[in-house]
């Protein structure tokens, strides 16, 4: 996890412990982050990451999360995964 200007870079293969730490990190900073970029080099490790990204988007709709907005992820280990989060 690192900052690149106003963008926060995170990895897809975060474990549950890392996701909890990420949650703790981002809660106080959500208003200052413009974009969350997800490095797609690895496959998703936990569905909880998807959940927190959706939660962040719902909390602050202006937040840009291109990975989430794509609506899908393709990885050899999981096939094609789609997600729908709009109300």
Partner 1 sequence: MTKQEQVKAIFIEEAGEIIEKLDIDIIRFEENSSDFNLLNEIFRGVHTLKGNANAFGFTRLGEFVHYFEDVLDYYRSTKEDIEEHNLELFVESVDVIKEVMTCELDAIDTLPKSYSECLEKIKTLVSIKKSKDISLDKQNDVSELIDLASEFGFSEEPENILLKSIKAHQAIQDDGLNLYKIDLTLDVDCYKRGFDHLLFIKNLAEEAKSIESFFNMQNVETLDTFKSDTNYIKNVEIVVLTPLSYENIEEFFEFLSEDEYSIESIKPVVVKEDEPLVVNNKSIGASDDTLSTSTITQKSTIRIDTLKLDELFDSVGELVIAQNFIAQNEKIRSVEDESIGRTIDTLSKITKIIQDRVMSLRMVAIKDTFEKMKRVVRDTSKKTGKEVHLVVQGEETEIDKTMIDSLSDPLIHIIRNAIDHGLEANADERIKAGKSREGKITLKAFHKSGSIVISVSDDGRGINKERVLSKAIERGIVSGDENFTDSQIFALIMQPGFSTAETISDLSGRGVGLDVVKTSIEKLRGKIEIDSKEGEGTTFSMVLPLTLAIIDGMLVHAAGEIYIIPTLSVVESFRPEKEIVHMAKGKSEFVSLRGQNIPIIRLSDVFTLETQRIEPWEGILVCVETEIGRIAIMVDSLIGRQQVVIKTLGKSLTKLKEVSGGAILGNGEIALILNVDELRPLIEVPHG
Report the nearest approach of partner 1 to the CB of residue 3 (Å).
Answer: 19
Q: Is the dihedral of CA 38, 43, 48, 51 positive or negative?
A: positive
Q: Does 29 bind partner 1 (CB under 8 A)?
A: no
Q: Which is nearer to partner 1, 9 or 15 (CB)?
A: 15
Tally of CB atoms within 10 A around 62 = 7
The span from the CA of 65 to the CA of 35, in Å, is: 6
Question: Residue from 23, 34, 42, 66 that binds partner 1 (CB under 8 A)?
Answer: 23
The span from the CA of 17 to the CA of 47, in Å, is: 13
State the residues that interact with partner 1 by CB under 8 A.
16, 19-20, 22-23, 27, 30, 44-48, 50-52, 54-56, 58-59, 72, 74-87
């Amino acid at each position: 996890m690192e900052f690149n200007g106003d963008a926060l870079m995170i990895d897809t293969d975060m474990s549950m412990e890392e996701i909890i730490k990420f949650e703790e990190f981002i809660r106080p900073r959500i208003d200052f982050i413009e974009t969350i970029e997800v490095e797609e080099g690895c496959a998703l490790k936990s569905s909880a990451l998807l959940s927190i990204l959706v939660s962040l988007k719902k909390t602050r709709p202006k937040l840009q999360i291109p990975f989430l907005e794509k609506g899908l992820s393709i990885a050899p280990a999981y096939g094609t995964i789609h997600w729908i989060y709009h109300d």
